Amino acid sequence: MLNYLDILDRAHRGPYISEENWDLEKIAMTAKRLVKKHKLEWDRNCLVTDDPALSEAIWNAGYELAVEVGAYSRTTELIIQISQEEIGNLSGVSRQRANQALQVLEKQGLLRVEYGGITVLDPEGLGKFGS
């Protein structure tokens, strides 16, 4: 099972990529291809869809994106690669529960949640959190 120390280790040994190239080459280009592949179209005035087929297609595209690109460490400028099995295990937590946990960590000043990612502000403090 993937743990915090595994992620920290991978953040220091993954492949290098600049943040600009991560955003443009990895995220934007992969997302564009997956939107087309999964035929994702929706009403921009409706923030939350009630179409189960569209919800499933969005989930599948997001899962594929995570498997293909992994995550990015802004501190080390390295890609954190995550396997399909690890993503499956990680996604066992509901989105709502994950957001609640992130809010607690953000209020503690340990990380910052922002568009497109999470910035770890205090790696040592995050490692000690809950101990």
Q: How far, in Å, CA of 103 to CA of 28, rounded?
A: 26
Bridge-partner residues for 16, per DSSP?
78
Q: What is the pLDDT along the chain (131 residues), one digit of tens a residue?
A: 778 888 888 899 989 999 999 999 999 999 999 999 999 987 777 767 777 888 888 888 888 888 889 899 999 999 998 876 677 677 665 556 666 777 788 888 888 776 556 677 887 777 777 65
3-class SS at 58? helix
Contact 54, 43 (CB under 8 A): no
Contact 77, 17 (CB under 8 A): yes
What is the number of other CB atoms lying within 10 angstroms of the CB of residue 35? 15
pLDDT digits (tens, 9 = 90+) for 60-73: 888 888 888 989 99
User: What pLDDT, on the 0 to 100 scale, is given for residue 96?
Assistant: 61
Contact 71, 91 (CB under 8 A): no
Q: Residue type for 55, please?
A: S
Q: Which residue has the tokens 């000690």?
A: 128
